[in-house]
Structure 1
């Protein structure tokens, strides 16, 4: 009897990796266009501030829910196949957002666009199955860096496009780029063989409980500044959040095919990487929110009253640093190990945040500080992502990297909400300018939170792999 040995997957070339990078760039741009244009959208769609806050987080919430499923399906059915289907949903969501006449339709578009967050683990599944470990680290770094760079491009260009053309075009242009890059990936990237097929269904109870957790967490953070006036509501939400967390953990432990594999999360290397990613992204998100606000601020003796175009120009060095950080993080992890790269990035970010709290009287202080924070964040997250992706079994690549991405999404969501809560609490009644002390407090808290990552970083293994 003869046994058929499956042919090894075809080796991908630079063109295929470039197509994945272009897809990451365009999805990153589409992901970030809402954040800098919330005030414009509030005016044009007659939205309240609470509705604007909902719009700003709905993509993150749906992304956190889709990411584990995308990684699992990519491991099970083949990364390229699921990636193309996922990008079709994203393209549909971008089209809905571009044509949206009102808030409910725009929210629907953002829900569909949230599927884009699952594109990164699927890209890693494809790269890991077609390249050896050393080359895959660099390729993953390139894709991660271009996704971050695309996000900064979207933040820089969304305002000018919306003002000069319309809010419809700020969604339409990156959506066209996503559709084109998806077709390119479908044509150039070879198919990857499916991984394990355990026959288990989707963990719907875990999915629903996790969605409830994320929505409740965002509500708790949004109501925190008004805790004095609504203590009962806030207390009930905190109790509900605790109950949802307990229920979710119980369901995931008993599920045959859990949405988030807590057994994998219990591995020391895995939970450490998730904790580090969450803490680092929380500090980064606070800076991402506070720096543009301080550039726009018109307080007496602080702030610069910068226009949207000027703010985009001032943030450009940070966009460049974030783009370069991806490949540099992959190369650094390959040569020096994740511990050295992450430790260096944490120190740079913490010092930059504390320096911004102490010195922010000139525009260049904010420009340099934001660029260093973006560089440090990119180095840390990429090193953690690449070391995790190459430290687990090939069939677990999507699940492992999706855990990192969920931690990233949670860190950004919590950090952004904390920054907004601090400014809201620091704005005197009847004033539209937040107190300078609110910015100082925000930078100090972010620096202190990031510094705690050093305690975890010291326990990482020293080698080139985690």
Structure 2
């Protein structure tokens, strides 16, 4: 395999920022705030029909709207960041998050609440924008550990957010959750304004509006089918029609993008071996990461009388998952050191094996709380390795002018992997059931099947990583 040189070209050298540690801390905080936003609604989802006076099928759009908005915003905001300024678009994203939080906080009816959740979803581009700012502003020796921490902030915020949100939901009015999100969002805006500089690196040019509309239509069609397929029926005309529409639109969009003068996504760059397999690996890891967030909460909350459920509260669920976020953060530094010594390809492969090992361990350790804490921490360690390596792989193979867009695409694929995991797990848990108290509950074997599938997804990521080019030393801050 060909080796990738890591010395950046002369034109890609940057002047190190005056306060790199502060910049990293602020950007990581912004990433955690966005991740908190995504998880804070989970404790109140079962109560939304009562709180908002609507049917359960309708209140489910409070989650779906966030998913769709995030999918649309991530690639668009990434490209706009490359064109008009990454800090500027970071501030726009955080301001929209703040606005969405306030809308949710003052809402008392479903339509306004869904609007607020959609606005919150539009902030999903914060993490890839933060990684891209780091590439522009940080000295080379800090880039690996800093981007690993920024990438890991999604897992950190998600793991910490659930117990905090559960505690607030159980002890205060549910609107407090969103006022808290608004305060955090305002804090993130103030810190970015004060401490994060704007890079002079911009591509300029005209925004590819047809490409943005085409990709958005394809993503909305795909994710609607994936997220609503279980409700509508996987063989229903609506579900199959949306899948077909997604395929057709993507084909037309790809044809257009390869001929556009300034495409939203440079498909030629995306098809480079290093970028392609990093993105496919991100898709597989997104599946593996999300699976643990689906099965562990259910195992903890199912009645103990089933023989495999633990009959615990949602607050306990959050406390069990919280250490995973801390492990992801702790592993970020180690991930960067491994990448600097052996290259991010090796780091990604280590992460894949650790995640697979965690799920296989879960097959035999699933009957005690400490079992699930151990398993989630092992999986978190693997995710920390992988999520630290993925942005380095992407940035090592794309020009500086495409940093934000390329990172946004990788983040988007991780999110799609999580959505697919949700659909697959939902099908398995719905089909493999036992009768308990007159209700159908997921069987123990259903959880074991999901664990095996998630382990398989991690091993697929390992195989994909093996096709990556070998690298010497630290990853470049620039690519030709």
TM-score using structure 2 length: 0.88
Equivalents in 2 of 1:10, 1:341: separation in Å?
26
Structure 2 unaligned runs (5+)? 1-10
Equivalents in 1 of 2:172, 2:361: separation in Å?
38
Offset at residue 439 of structure 1 (A): 1.1
Offset at residue 228 of structure 1 (A): 7.6
CA contact (8 A) 2:63 2:117 kept: no
CA contact (8 A) 1:11 1:131 kept: yes
Q: Which one is further off, 53-62 or 365-374?
A: 53-62
> Would you say how many aligned residue pairs link Structure 1 and Structure 2?
459
Q: Which residue of 2 aligns with 1:260?
A: 265
Q: Which residue of 1 aligns with 2:6?
A: none
For residue 303 of structure 1, the aligned residue among 294, 301, 309 is 309
Equivalents in 1 of 2:343, 2:335: separation in Å?
10
CA contact (8 A) 1:273 1:388 kept: yes
Q: Which residue of 1 aligns with 2:374?
A: 368
Equivalents in 1 of 2:76, 2:232: separation in Å?
35
Residues 255 and 20 (structure 1), Cα distance of their counterparts in 2 relative to 1, 3 Å cut: same
Offset at residue 387 of structure 1 (A): 3.0
Offset at residue 52 of structure 1 (A): 4.3
CA contact (8 A) 1:124 1:389 kept: no
For residue 314 of structure 1, the aligned residue among 320, 325, 336 is 320
For residue 249 of structure 1, the aligned residue among 242, 250, 254 is 254
2:165 corresponds to 1:158: yes
CA contact (8 A) 1:427 1:435 kept: yes
CA contact (8 A) 1:100 1:106 kept: yes
CA contact (8 A) 1:9 1:193 kept: no
CA contact (8 A) 1:220 1:238 kept: yes
Equivalents in 2 of 1:161, 1:10: separation in Å?
41
Residues 183 and 381 (structure 1), Cα distance of their counterparts in 2 relative to 1, 3 Å cut: same
CA contact (8 A) 1:74 1:122 kept: yes
Equivalents in 2 of 1:247, 1:40: separation in Å?
42
Equivalents in 1 of 2:178, 2:166: separation in Å?
11
For residue 207 of structure 2, the aligned residue among 179, 190, 201 is 201
Residues 192 and 163 (structure 1), Cα distance of their counterparts in 2 relative to 1, 3 Å cut: same
Q: Which one is further off, 251-260 or 115-124?
A: 251-260
How do 1:321-336 residues align onto structure 2 when only pairs under 5 Å count? 321-336=327-342
Equivalents in 2 of 1:71, 1:442: separation in Å?
33
Equivalents in 2 of 1:414, 1:12: separation in Å?
42
Structure 1 unaligned runs (5+)? none
Q: Which residue of 2 aligns with 1:412?
A: 418
2:355 corresponds to 1:340: no
How do 1:170-181 residues align onto structure 2 when only pairs under 5 Å count? 170-181=177-188
CA contact (8 A) 1:348 1:373 kept: yes
Residues 45 and 459 (structure 1), Cα distance of their counterparts in 2 relative to 1, 3 Å cut: same
Equivalents in 2 of 1:441, 1:223: separation in Å?
22
CA contact (8 A) 1:286 1:418 kept: no
Residues 232 and 194 (structure 1), Cα distance of their counterparts in 2 relative to 1, 3 Å cut: closer
Q: Which residue of 2 aligns with 1:69?
A: 76
Q: CA RMSD in A?
A: 2.5
Q: Which residue of 1 aligns with 2:219?
A: 214
Equivalents in 1 of 2:188, 2:146: separation in Å?
17
**1:137-175 CA distance string (max 9 Å, x none):** 222222223343122221221111122112211121122
Residues 278 and 12 (structure 1), Cα distance of their counterparts in 2 relative to 1, 3 Å cut: farther
For residue 270 of structure 1, the aligned residue among 265, 272, 275 is 275
Equivalents in 1 of 2:238, 2:87: separation in Å?
45
Offset at residue 234 of structure 1 (A): 4.1
Q: Which residue of 1 aligns with 2:117?
A: 110
**1:31-69 CA distance string (max 9 Å, x none):** 221234321324322444433443223223222221222
Equivalents in 1 of 2:58, 2:330: separation in Å?
35
Equivalents in 2 of 1:228, 1:86: separation in Å?
35
Residues 300 and 346 (structure 1), Cα distance of their counterparts in 2 relative to 1, 3 Å cut: same
SS at match of 1:190: coil
**1:186-205 CA distance string (max 9 Å, x none):** 112223214222x22332x3
Offset at residue 403 of structure 1 (A): 1.5
Offset at residue 230 of structure 1 (A): 4.9
Offset at residue 274 of structure 1 (A): 0.4
**1:93-131 CA distance string (max 9 Å, x none):** 111122221221111111111222111222122221222
How do 1:345-424 residues align onto structure 2 when only pairs under 5 Å count? 345-424=351-430
CA contact (8 A) 1:77 1:193 kept: no
CA contact (8 A) 1:346 1:450 kept: yes
Runs of 4+ off more than 6 Å: 226-229
SS at match of 1:433: strand
Q: Which residue of 2 aligns with 1:38?
A: 45
Offset at residue 231 of structure 1 (A): 4.7
SS at match of 1:254: coil
Offset at residue 240 of structure 1 (A): 2.8
